[in-house]
Amino acid sequence: MSSYSETAALKALSTVTDLSGERDIVAAGRLNDLTFQDGFLRAILSIHPDEAEAFEPIRQNVENALETVNGVDRVSVMLTAHKAAPELKSKPKRSANPHQARRPEGYQGDAFIDHVIAVSSAKGGVGKSTIAVNLAVALARQGLKVGLLDADIHGPSLPILLGNSGARAVSVETQGRRLIEPLEAHGIKAMSIGYLTKDDGPIVWRGPMVQGAMSRMLWDTDWGELDVLIIDMPPGTGDSQLGLAQEIKPRGAIIVSTPQDLALADARKGIAMFGKVDIPVLGLIENMSVFICPDCGSSHDIFGSGGVKDEAKKIGIPLLGQIPLHISIRESGDDGQPIASTQKPYPSTFDAIAKSISL
């Protein structure tokens, strides 16, 4: 019999439609837990108490779908409904970070990192990871010792952008602890959840698990001596991002946005989030500032013009640079050769941004 694969189980779950009929149960956020041991597969689905009766047919559909997965002998599908706690006359003070991860005992992998800089965007799809990778490479070209941590647990992109997809990190003995050895590429040290997982299946983790994984990849990686560590933050301004910012306390943050008004609205939320935890925003980067036609070289402001520049001036934060939307940047990323490390156009743009950052 073929061995069990979580990817296959998630694929089976994606065939079961949620109550709304618009999304599958995984996309709808119903999957609370999925565990497999000795042929027994258990799934826990989150529902509202009022949905219990209506959800029973879906529970049965989930059970039927999981029974078809290779390596599964028995299936249990449970529903869990959390009711709101009764109102208290005097509410206890809520911790600013209720799921704070705890540092392990002994030697810390980040013990000899001089500066940590978070590269963030409150909105996905603005090219944040591409900026983070090229910025790290550009800093290394200046002779600095640079590390890059991919903190996007659900959608790690570092292995592709650095050209080492399929590579797996190993552990090493360091000062009495087993630490993860970062991979080296293009003159930088790098760590990503993509180097720790067995396949390309989605990571179905939530809240505290995600936040803990991000922190542990910092603490449990043997970074050695670094002048600067760039953290490619996950998109958004939720608990995971806020918790990571609180625990790691970067020296500062860089916000990436496109000129589009919609992206700028989210960028403002990111700036406000870092302000709440007293982390200074070092500057803004406008990505996809202008489209450069690869055939004729003409420029087109398809996402608007100068939006980030105007916003930076308005709020008094430096504009570190403007990156065009050019096919060479996309091709370099797909090829695993960051454009900052090549002789193609625009590495000088990233070099200029790197030089403008005060460490």
CATH code for position 291: 3.40.50.300
Give the pair of three-digit tokens for residue 317: 């934060």
Distance CA 290, CA 303 (A): 7
Whether residues 201 and 65 fall in one domain = no
State how many domains the chain has. 2
CA distances 275 to 99, 104, 319, Å, are 20, 28, 18
For residue 238, the model assigns a pLDDT of 57
Question: What pLDDT does 172 receive?
Answer: 86
Phi, psi of 205 (to 5 degrees): -120, 160
Domain limit, last residue, from 63, 81, 99: 81
Residue 108 lies in a domain: no
- 139/219 same-domain check: yes
> Which domain-ending residue is among 59, 81, 103?
81
* HSE-up (13 A, CA, CB side) for residue 348: 3
**10-residue block means of pLDDT along the chain (359 residues)?**
79 89 82 83 83 87 92 86 40 41 74 91 81 96 95 82 90 86 95 76 48 74 94 72 71 84 72 83 83 68 66 81 84 91 84 86
Residue 337 forms part of a structural domain: yes
Same domain, 181 and 54: no
231 forms beta bridges with 118, 149
Quick one: 45 and 120 in the same domain? no
Is residue 100 situated within a structural domain?
A: no
Range of the domain at 36: 6-81
- Within a domain: residue 283? yes
Q: Are 118 and 200 in contact (CB under 8 A)?
A: no
Residue 17 forms part of a structural domain = yes
Residue 74 shares a structural domain with residue 125: no
Taking phi over 0 as left and psi of -120 to 50 as alpha, with beta for the rest, 306 belongs to left
Strands 188-192 and 183-185: antiparallel
Compute φ and ψ for 305, nearest 5 degrees. Answer: -130, 125
CATH code for the domain of 31: 3.30.300.130
Q: What is this structure's pTM?
A: 0.66
- 202 and 334 part of one domain: yes
pLDDT at 208: 47
Whether 186 is covered by a domain: the verdict is yes
CA pair distance 155, 153, nearest whole angstrom: 6
Q: Are 37 and 126 found together in one domain?
A: no
Measuring CA to CA, which residue among 220, 103, 139 is closest to residue 173? 220
174 domain residue, yes or no: yes
322 lies in some domain: yes
Are 47 and 135 within one domain? no
Residues 68 and 162 in one domain: no
